Chains A and B, each alone.
Chain A
Amino acid sequence: MLDCTPKEIIKRSGGMINPAKTCQPIGAMYAALGIHNCLPHSHGSQGCCAYHRSHLTRHFREPVMATSSSFTEGASVFGGGGNLKTAIKNVFSIYNPDVMAVHTTCLSETIGDDLPSIIKGAEVPEGKLVIHASTPSYQGSHITGFSNMVKGMVTYLAKATRDEKKEQVNIIPGFVNPGDMREIKRLGGELGVRSIIFPDTSGVLDSPMIGKFNMFPAGGAKVEDIRDSGNSKLTIALGYYASSDSAHLLERNCQVPAITLKTPIGIKATDDFLMTLRSKFVQEIPNQLEEERGQLVDVITDNHHHFYGKKVALFGDPDILTGLTEFILSLGMQPVHVLTGTPAGTLTGSGIFEKEIKEMLAAAGHEGRVKAAGDLFELHQWIKNEPVDLLMGNTYGKYIARAEDLPFVRVGFPILDRGVHSYLPIVGYRGAMRLVEMISDTLLDRQDRDAADEDLELVM
């Protein structure tokens, strides 16, 4: 029996069982892949790099290139400076990226390698860049690591080079799939706003088949664009946890005003995103987007009777969950359990995740369990104590779904057991329409499966 989780909830203090998060460096590696011609570099043991590459490969089903400092016992005693310098030399002479994005690991953080001075002392070829982010695995989660690497991009690259700001917006999309980044870019394009999206893994981790292997695929945010982000009129950070720190850093360094919005999942969050762009840049929302919104509202209307009153358990990354909770509520469903593994008080903020979700639930007249820094063992116990009609989250939810015989919609990171998802968005109106389809199909497939012969309906 796969179900090893007892129903009775006892307070624990000895670590995690079945995590709902992973460590910082993988987030940093993912963010770095969103720079054009960039090679991520893991400053630690070889295993970290191998695990992150494998995990990202399983999720995206794309080659994931990254190098490692390949720490040995010697490096761990005497410091990893020598390994990093050798690595910098090798990376540029062999792979020749434009940027090498170094992130640390728990090992190199604990032995206290001073990356800025190691990088300063290394031979970096003319015109090439080495950026870095400090990403100790014992703080935060993969979302923190993503945020820290984006901060590294701002610190090293963004420059304000003129007095007057340009009519352009920076959009920091957060830890979402390339399909989502592509959609966010498209929305900006439909509005006719010049936007700089960074990091941007579209065209890198959803690259097309071209009959050959490109170490550096065509996509990714260009270095000159990230530089130019210092001249933009506005930065929109999508997602508090993955994006707002870097937006505020850009505000401090280059005086680009920052706004933090929810990851645009669902009607309201997408409205907020587009209306923010409208209010700062354009007069009107183009017909195309009006039409998409209308279609979304139409399909929700057509299907709302399937959703009403259904109880849902949600888990995953905090920014995704905030948007998703709002959207689930708008469908008439009840998110009764919402859990993230990422600690709520990241480096800047306090427990904004729990507060925000609880407020949404309260506004809809619901109560629910909400927790940051939780694990799936706990979520499973919650579900045993208060059953739900639907589970939404990453691949690891399949154990709970099976144990409790729940309909299960895969959303978030990582999804290791299904393909295609990373190419298609869940953000924007079209992404929301996709979510509606995923949720209603899942619920109705279950209804069909469980129906007795005499109850099986053709028209639903």
Chain B
Amino acid sequence: MINVSTAVPNDNLIVERQSSILVKGGQRKNQLKCDAESIAGCVSQRACVYCGARVVLNPVTDAIHLVHGPMGCASYTWDIRGSLSSGSELYRNSFCTDLKENDIIFGGEKKLARAIDELVEKYESELVFVYSTCVVGVIGDDLEAVCKTAAHKHGIQVLPVQSSGFIGNKSAGYRAACDALLRLIEPPGGARPINSRRPVKSVNYLGDFNLAGEAWIIKDYLKRIGVEVNVVFTGDSNYRDLKKAPEASLNIMQCAGSMAYIARRMEELYSIPSLQISFLGLEDTAASLCKIADFFGEPEMMRRAEELIKEETIAVQPEMGRYHEKLAGKKAAIYVGGGFKAISLIKQFRELGIDVVMVGTQTGREVEYQTLHDISDDGTVILDDANPSELERFMTEKGAHLLVGGVKERPLAYKLGVAFIDHNHDRKHPLSGYVGAVNFAREVYSTVCSPVWKYARETGGGLYAVENSELPER
């Protein structure tokens, strides 16, 4: 373990947290502590197992997503995902068994069975996901049995999602969701390698949740190079399409944090190989398209990929160039959910001439932190499961102009006079592919160069400049 106390002054930092933060430079290698439980009494930005499961499955558009528990867990996740549908909008409703005190005492199984009956009758869906919550995990309702009975009764698939909040962190929820998906896609008669794959080049696109329609952009690119997307996990997916998942000849994976497990299992069960790709930023988008073409080994496909890359790059260059001019030399801080997105973002900021001075994730894995460490500049602060005080401190110390994060980080950045861009559920434009790279640049520009900072920074929002201003030079 490196002696981080010399790397990071430890005033105001929790002693136990020191091993989760390091500054690049001087150390032989990255030895950041990650994938550990949060410390009780910290303002963590992390969520729970249920949250992880819900974000992965919620984009399945024609499923009844039934939350088995008290109302809260369902209400906070009601249509906040931002994933778009080209078909059913059923997934945008909030279904919950709304457990009451009596159900906690006597068990909630009967109410759950009634809820499934009533919902299936109303909505004629072929698929129900039943999410377990904390309290259900404690009182021990047999979700498996209730779901099995209901499935038999209605002749549809009713899948339990073992997502009691306390059984791990958000990553455990990704896994619970993937387990449910694996059951869903299993062909009748059990899992086995599919010998006769369909003749077209077809891929499953894993880890895109079609936020602001991103999966549609990528689907179009792939179509242009001659690749058909079999099904997306799980953006704009539906019951029928997901069922076809074992037929694909390749899995490509954007969000590795949530999908690495299911990709591995699909390779074991159905002999589908997988490629890690990323469609965030020009560089990664181009590399990913080539990687896919390379996998199929067809010169024609590679030619079309190169053509697409050239065409799209030329189309976006003038606008990207303008933003580069305005943004070069600015400093960005990154705090996102998973490690792979953070890696792509560092590259994407480089494309705009922006230096990343702080990078952290809620649930990044060790291998991702290694890459983050490798590609970061010297002096960049790298941290896992950060709390707001840490984010504040390093953004201020490093003079960041911009933070990339999720809903809880936005007002924190604003209070510091730091611009903000949402790279999570609350994003408003697609951020994938070439069009996404331009959207990203435009959004970065519109927030970093907004006239509001003139008032927010120079005088701290007041009439007079804040004395002894703690704001760094900008």
Contact = CB atoms under 8 A, between A and B. Distances in A.
Q: Do A and B bind each other?
A: yes
Contacts of B74: 16, 19
Interface stretch (A87-95, A227-235, A302-310): A87-95
B88 to A, nearest CB: 9
Given A45-B48, A50-B48, A136 B71 contact: no
A32 B469 CA distance: 30
Contacts of B113: 14
Interface in A13-60: 13-19, 21-26, 41, 44-55, 57-58
B281 to A, nearest CB: 27
A73 interface: yes
A90 B39 contact: yes
24 contacts: A13-B114, A15-B114, A19-B71, A19-B74, A22-B76, A23-B70, A46-B48, A50-B45, A50-B47, A61-B410, A65-B43, A71-B134, A73-B167, A90-B41, A90-B42, A94-B14, A110-B135, A137-B71, A139-B101, A208-B461, A209-B414, A209-B417, A211-B459, A377-B93
A343 to B, nearest CB: 9
Contacts of B76: 22, 51-52, 54-55
A246 interface: no
Contacts of B100: 138-139
Contacts of A13: 111, 114, 118
A88 to B, nearest CB: 7
Contacts of A253: none
A15 B93 CA distance: 13
B40 A17 contact: no
Contact of A15 (B95, B406, B407, B459): B95
B411 interface: yes
A245 to B, nearest CB: 18
A51 B46 CA distance: 10
A46 B41 contact: no
Given A23-B71, A46-B169, A138 B40 contact: no
Contact of A138 (B37, B101, B165, B457): B101
A19 B96 contact: yes
Interface string B384-428: 000011001000000000000011101110111100000000100
Interface stretch (A1-9, A281-289, A313-321): A1-9
Contacts of A209: 414-415, 417, 455-456, 460-461
Given A105-B134, A107-B134, A137-B71, 17 more contacts: A4-B123, A16-B95, A17-B95, A18-B78, A19-B98, A22-B75, A23-B73, A25-B72, A41-B41, A51-B51, A65-B43, A89-B41, A111-B138, A209-B415, A211-B416, A211-B466, A215-B389
Contacts of A75: 166
Interface residues of B, number: 89
A175 interface: no
Contacts of B69: 106, 137
A141 B471 CA distance: 42
B38 A70 contact: yes
Top 10 nearest A-B pairs by Cβ distance?
A47-B48, A211-B460, A23-B72, A209-B461, A14-B115, A90-B41, A87-B41, A45-B165, A14-B114, A137-B70
A105 B72 CA distance: 10
B298 interface: no
Interface of A: 1-2, 4, 6, 12-19, 21-26, 41, 44-55, 57-58, 61-73, 75-76, 83-84, 86-91, 93-95, 105-107, 110-111, 136-139, 141, 208-215, 341, 377, 396, 399
Given A47-B49, A138-B100, A91 B411 contact: no
Contacts of B139: 110
B108 to A, nearest CB: 9
A68 B75 contact: no
B115 to A, nearest CB: 3
Contacts of A19: 71, 74-75, 78, 94, 96, 98
A84 B39 CA distance: 11
Interface of B: 12, 14, 37-51, 66, 69-78, 89-90, 92-101, 103-104, 111-119, 122-123, 133-135, 137-139, 165-169, 388-389, 392, 406-408, 410-412, 414-417, 426, 455-457, 459-462, 466, 469-471
A261 to B, nearest CB: 28
A206 to B, nearest CB: 12
Contacts of A86: 39-41
B37 A70 contact: yes
Contacts of B66: 15
A46 B94 contact: no
A210 B166 contact: no
Contact of A57 (B50, B116, B411, B466): B411
A15 to B, nearest CB: 4
Nearest to A22: B75
Nearest to A217: B415
A211 B456 contact: yes
Contacts of B457: 211
A68 B134 CA distance: 15
A46 B38 contact: yes
A210 B407 contact: no
Nearest to B165: A45
Given A76-B137, A105-B134, A211-B466, A21 B71 contact: yes
A180 B142 CA distance: 46
Given A47-B165, A75-B166, A107-B138, A211 B469 contact: yes
B469 A53 contact: no
Contacts of B93: 4, 17-18, 377
Contacts of A50: 44-48, 51, 408
Contacts of B455: 209
Contacts of B14: 90, 93-94
A62 B409 CA distance: 10
Of B51, B75, B96, B167, most A-chain CB atoms within 10 Å: B75
B75 A14 contact: no
Contact of A54 (B73, B134, B138, B407): B407
Contacts of A95: 43, 389
B456 A76 contact: no
A217 to B, nearest CB: 9
Nearest to A139: B101
B397 to A, nearest CB: 13
B135 A1 contact: no
B367 to A, nearest CB: 24
Contacts of B104: 106, 110, 138
A379 to B, nearest CB: 13
A201 to B, nearest CB: 14
A402 B116 CA distance: 27
Contacts of A65: 43, 388
Contacts of B111: 13-15
Given A19-B94, A94-B42, A138 B103 contact: yes
Given A18-B78, A45-B166, A110-B138, A66 B43 contact: yes
B461 A210 contact: yes
Nearest to A399: B92
B334 to A, nearest CB: 18
A4 B72 contact: no
A53 to B, nearest CB: 5
Given A45-B165, A91-B41, A212 B51 contact: no
A2 B46 contact: no
Contacts of A71: 134, 165-166
A76 B471 CA distance: 44
